[in-house]
Amino acid sequence: MRDLLFFFAGCLTVFGLRFFVAPDLHASNVHDHVFRALSYLQGDLQGTSTSQNTFQSKSSIVSSLSSPQCTDPSWKENFLYDAEDPKSASLGRGLHYLCVTTSSASSSGLKGLQVTPYLNAVESRIPPSPFSFPSAESLSLNLQELMGPQERRDRDFVLYDGNGLQLFTERELLTVSSEIVQETLSRAGLVLLFEGAVFIWPGVRVGHQRNVSISGTGYQGGPNYLTLETLTLRPLLFGVVEQFVSNEECNHIQNRSRPHMKQSGVSLMDKDKGKAATEWRTSSTYFLPSGMDQVLRGVDHRVESLTKISKKNQEQIQVLNYGVEQKYDGHHDFFDPKMYANDKNTMKLIENGRRNRVATVFFYLSDVAGGGETMFFCAHGKPAPKNLADCSPENGHKVKPEKGKVIIFYSLDFAGKTDPFSLHGGCPVLEGEKWSGNKWIWNSAMHFSEYNK
C-alpha cells in the first residue's frame, strides 16, 4: 500500500516522464505461440515457462516432459486444497485444474480427448463430470461456461502445465489450430487455468513441500532444485528450504549497494500525503540495477526459474539495510487503486488497477543477531492487529532472517485480485544489522525492464 516508489520515480526521470503501456501479457503473437506449442509437442522446448515466450535453457525440456500428470495418483496431494476444511476450501478461488485424458470410447483419435475439471482447486463432493472437446473453440466455450459470466473476470485466463510452463492464453485458444491445442493439452495431462493469468504456485496446505527444478540457474555448488514449503495459506506464503542466494552473492549485493544506500522512502497514499516516510519505515535502500552484472543476472534468472514468472516482470532488487531499532511497519506491497486515486503517476503505472505487483521474493542477505523478522500480521486469515508496529508473537507469523534464505509471498490471488491478508512488515532490529532485498514481480512486463529491450 505504502511501499516505495523511488525506483519508479528514478525511472520516470530516466525515461523523461515517458510512460508507455507495457506489452499486454495476453496479447502474445500467434506465430510465437505456434512455435511454442510445436516445440512443446516435439519435446524440444528450450525455456522455462514464462508469460512472454522466452526460451532460455534446455533444462526445462526435462521439467516440461516430466510435468505432473493426473494419471499419477499423487497429483491430488500436490495440487488440491482440502474441500472439507472450511478455512482452506475457498482459497483456491480462481485456479482450476483440467485433467486431460484420452477417452476409452475412442482411444484411437485425438477427437476422443476428455477434460475432467476440478474447479477452484478442490474436489467437490459431487464427482466432476468430464467433457470432450472436439475443437479448441468448444473447449474455450466449455471453460467459460464453467467459470461463469465473463464480466466477473477482469482479464483473460491463461493455461499452464503442472511445471508452470505457459501453454495458451484464452485468446490463443481461438486463434491456434484445434489440433495443436488438443495435442499440447493431452501431452501436458494436467493443465492449470489461472483466471488472473499469472502462474502462482498452489499452497495446498501448511507444511506442504514441492520440489521445483531450477537446473542451470543455480549458483556454483548449489542445488539444482529448490523446495517450496507452504508457511501460510492465507496469505499465500512460502519459504524456500535450501539456501537460495549463496554467501558470495549476498556479499556481492551488499558491497555493490553499500555506497549508494539512502533513507528509504514509501509511496504515500492520498490520505498520507505530506507525512514523512520515517513514520513507517526507517531503513536505508538502494534499487540495484542488474545491468551486465553476471551475478545479479544469475539471481534474476533463478527467481524466474523458481516463480515461473518472466524476468521481464521483475523490478530491480531493492536492497535494504536496517540498523538497531530500524523497521518497516505493516503494509502491502501491492498498490490499491482506491488509495492512490489522486496520484496520477501511480495510477498510470498500475493502469488504474489492471497492473500490479503479484509476488515478492524477499531475500535475507545477512543473519541478524536479534530481531529483524518479517511479520505477517494476518497470517492464517486473522484480522489485522490495531498496531501495525507491534511485533508481539501473537500478532502474526514471523520469519527469522537467515543469510541466503528467501520467502515468496503473493499480493494477488489466483483470480488476479489484491489480497488484503498479505499485510506484512519488518520488525525492529534489536541487535546487529540486517541486510535484505525485495524482488518485486508484476503481473505483466515492466516496460523499463532490462530484459525487455
With the CA atoms of 20, 26, 30 and 33 taken in that order, what torsion angle do they form, in degrees rounded to the nearest 10?
A: 120
Of 284, 290, 307, 438, the one binding ligand AKG by CB under 6 A: 438
The partner residues of 410 in beta bridges, in order of sequence, read 359
The reply on whether position 419 binds Fe ion by CB under 5 A is: no
Smallest distance from Fe ion to CB 295, Å = 24
Of 320, 368, 388, 446, the one binding ligand AKG by CB under 6 A: 320
Site size for Fe ion (CB under 5 A): 1
Binder of residue 302, out of Fe ion, ligand AKG, none (CB less than 5 to 8 A by kind)? none
Q: Which is nearer to Fe ion, 212 or 361 (CB)?
A: 361
Q: Is 288 left (phi over 0), alpha (psi -120 to 50) or beta?
A: beta
Question: Per-residue x/- marks for Fe ion, 295-334, CB under 5 A?
Answer: --------------------------------------x-
Of 374, 411, 422, 444, the one binding ligand AKG by CB under 6 A: 374
Question: Per-residue x/- marks for Fe ion, 333-362, CB under 5 A?
Answer: x-----------------------------
The reply on whether position 424 binds ligand AKG by CB under 6 A is: yes
Cα 252 from Cα 219, distance rounded (Å): 13
Smallest distance from Fe ion to CB 442, Å = 15
Cα 264 from Cα 249, distance rounded (Å): 23
Question: Grid coordinates 524456500 are at which residue?
Answer: 240
Smallest distance from ligand AKG to CB 432, Å = 14
Residue 437: C-alpha distances to residues 28, 53, 86, 260, 429 (Å): 31, 27, 35, 14, 15
Please provide the DSSP assignment of 226-243 as one string.
Answer: EEEEEEETTTTEEEESS-
Smallest distance from ligand AKG to CB 359, Å = 12
Binder of residue 436, out of Fe ion, ligand AKG, none (CB less than 5 to 8 A by kind)? ligand AKG
Q: Which is nearer to Fe ion, 96 or 434 (CB)?
A: 434
The answer to whether the CB of 350 falls within 8 A of the CB of 356 is: yes
Residue 98 corresponds to which amino acid? L
Question: Grid coordinates 463432493 are at which residue?
Answer: 125
Residue 88 corresponds to which amino acid? S
3-state secondary structure of 440: strand
**Residue nearest ligand AKG by beta-carbon distance:** 426
The reply on whether position 436 binds ligand AKG by CB under 6 A is: yes
Of 172, 304, 333, 413, the one binding ligand AKG by CB under 6 A: 333
Binder of residue 320, out of ligand AKG, Fe ion, none (CB less than 5 to 8 A by kind)? ligand AKG
Query: How deeply is 17 buried, as exposed, middle or buried, from its count of CB atoms within 10 A (0-12, 13-18, 19+)?
Result: exposed
Q: Which is nearer to ligand AKG, 158 or 320 (CB)?
A: 320
Binder of residue 50, out of ligand AKG, Fe ion, none (CB less than 5 to 8 A by kind)? none
**Residue nearest Fe ion by beta-carbon distance:** 333
Q: Which is nearer to ligand AKG, 139 or 250 (CB)?
A: 250
Binder of residue 374, out of ligand AKG, Fe ion, none (CB less than 5 to 8 A by kind)? ligand AKG
Site size for ligand AKG (CB under 6 A): 9
Cα 119 from Cα 425, distance rounded (Å): 33
Please provide the DSSP assignment of 362-373 as one string.
Answer: EEE-S--SEE--
The reply on whether position 195 binds ligand AKG by CB under 6 A is: no
Cα 151 from Cα 103, distance rounded (Å): 33
The reply on whether position 314 binds ligand AKG by CB under 6 A is: no
Closest Cα partner for 217 from 316, 161, 297? 297
The answer to whether the CB of 153 falls within 8 A of the CB of 10 is: no
Binder of residue 396, out of ligand AKG, Fe ion, none (CB less than 5 to 8 A by kind)? none
Question: Per-residue x/- marks for ligand AKG, 146-185, CB under 6 A?
Answer: ----------------------------------------
Cα 41 from Cα 110, distance rounded (Å): 14
The reply on whether position 426 binds ligand AKG by CB under 6 A is: yes
What sign for the dihedral angle of Cα 79, 196, 176, 55?
A: negative
Q: Which is nearer to Fe ion, 333 or 413 (CB)?
A: 333
Cα 40 from Cα 143, distance rounded (Å): 22
Radius of gyration, CA atoms only, the chain: 22
Residue 199 corresponds to which amino acid? F
The reply on whether position 305 binds ligand AKG by CB under 6 A is: no
Smallest distance from ligand AKG to CB 298, Å = 23
Binding site for Fe ion (CB under 5 A): 333
Binding site for ligand AKG (CB under 6 A): 3, 320, 328, 333, 374, 424, 426, 436, 438
